[in-house]
Amino acid sequence: MAAKKLRRAQLSQEMCERLGRYQITTCQDFLCLSLLELMKVTGQSYYEVQKLLCKVSRACAPKMQTAYEMKLRKSVNPSSAFLSTTLHSLDGVLHGGVPCGSLTEITSPPGCGKTQFCIMLSVLATLPVSMGGLDGAVIYIDTESAFSAERLIEIAANRFPTYFDSDEKLFCMTRSIHLYRELTCCCVLKRIMSLEEEIISKKVKLIIIDSVASVVRKEFDTKLQGNLAERSNFLTRGASVLKYLAEEFSIPVILTNQITTSLSSGPGFRADLVSPADDLSLSE
């Protein structure tokens, strides 16, 4: 929306050419200027410039919906609002399961079972809707090389023996889980940016990133100058793209995180190292 060219914002041809001479081609450039600068650049009077601002704003402003319309849309298709984890007490606490359309974060100390949980959710997502799944493909971004395909088959065969009764079915399931091994922050971000097309072409219904914290901790030493800004930049950029994907396609996105001990003057309490959904990042 921000990179929308002014031509498509219904400004006249000559106005676009004139603005182009000042390197103002997108709506973002236009809206970042102050009124006086806009007057100088467009050569129009104050009131004309305000009208132009409204025109450009209308081109990139979001559409209005009332909360009632949102609720109606959700209630039309209630089963697609959650991915049930098949753990009844967890589903009860989450009011149905992992919600579709938003980011969910799983955090724990090492060895508690985050990767196992992710593998199980991948199996669940490939199941048909009648069995509580999402009947779709899974994108699994693995930064720790912890994903084991054998374990995947073991879980599937033991958990749903009646459904996965033949090797054929198992292989079909494994074919719809797309694994990407990314080992640096830069690669992870590039991969996230390229996900939109993959989601449409492969009919993806679940995205898992395991784990964000390991790749961030490897690369950013928070004691070094300037690393904090870069780290929070990377996290917020990744978070906003993932949120957009989750909302646009109404699919769940799962991220795993690590626990670290924060040394403070009081009793040492546990705190999340990185919280991409709503980042408590260190200052710039």
Partner 1 sequence: MQREVGTLPLAPALRARLAAAGFQTAQELLDTGPCGLSKEIGISREEALEALQVVRQECHGDAARTAGGSGATRKCTALELLEEEQTQGFIITFCSALDNILGGGVQLTKITEICGAPGVGKTQLCMQLAVDVQIPECFGGVAGEAVFIDTEGSFMVDRVVDIAAACVQHCHLIAEAQQEEDLGKALETFSVENILSHIYYFRCRDYTELLAQVYLLPEFLSEHSKVRLVVIDGIAFPFRHDFEDLSLRTRLLNGLAQQLIIIANDHRSAVVLTNQMTTRIGQSQSTLVPALGESWGHAATVRLIFHWDNSQRLATLYKSPSQKESTIAYHITSHGFRDVQPPAVTHSTEGPELNPRKRPRTEEEKQ
Query: What is the contact surface with partner 1 in residues (CB under 8 A)?
Result: 1-2, 27-28, 31-32, 34, 39-40, 43-48, 53-54, 56-71, 74, 95, 102, 232-233, 236-237, 240, 243-244, 246-247, 265, 275, 277-284
Q: How many angstroms separate the first and last alpha carbons of the chain?
A: 27
Least gap, CB of 277 to partner 1 (angstroms): 7
Burial 109-133 (b: 16+ CB within 10 A, else e): eeeeebbebbbbbbbbbbbeeeebb
Least gap, CB of 94 to partner 1 (angstroms): 12
Do 276 and 212 contact (CB within 8 A), yes or no? Answer: yes
Least gap, CB of 31 to partner 1 (angstroms): 5
Distance (Å) of CA 96 to CA 49, 69, 91, 218:
51, 22, 5, 35
Q: Which is nearer to partner 1, 54 or 112 (CB)?
A: 54
Burial class (CB in 10 A: 0-12, 13-18, 19+), 256: buried
Q: Which is nearer to partner 1, 65 or 89 (CB)?
A: 65
Distance (Å) of CA 103 to CA 61, 92, 170, 277:
24, 18, 28, 7
Least gap, CB of 204 to partner 1 (angstroms): 19
Least gap, CB of 243 to partner 1 (angstroms): 5
Do 105 and 238 contact (CB within 8 A), yes or no? Answer: no
Token pair, residue 148, equals 């084991």
**Position 58: which residue type?**
R
Q: Which is nearer to partner 1, 22 or 171 (CB)?
A: 22
State the helix-helix crossing angle for 114-126 and 149-159, rounded to 10 degrees: 60
Least gap, CB of 188 to partner 1 (angstroms): 15
Q: Which is nearer to partner 1, 202 or 243 (CB)?
A: 243
Cβ within 8 Å of residue 78, ≥6 positions away: none
Q: Which is nearer to partner 1, 78 or 110 (CB)?
A: 78
Q: Which is nearer to partner 1, 62 or 161 (CB)?
A: 62
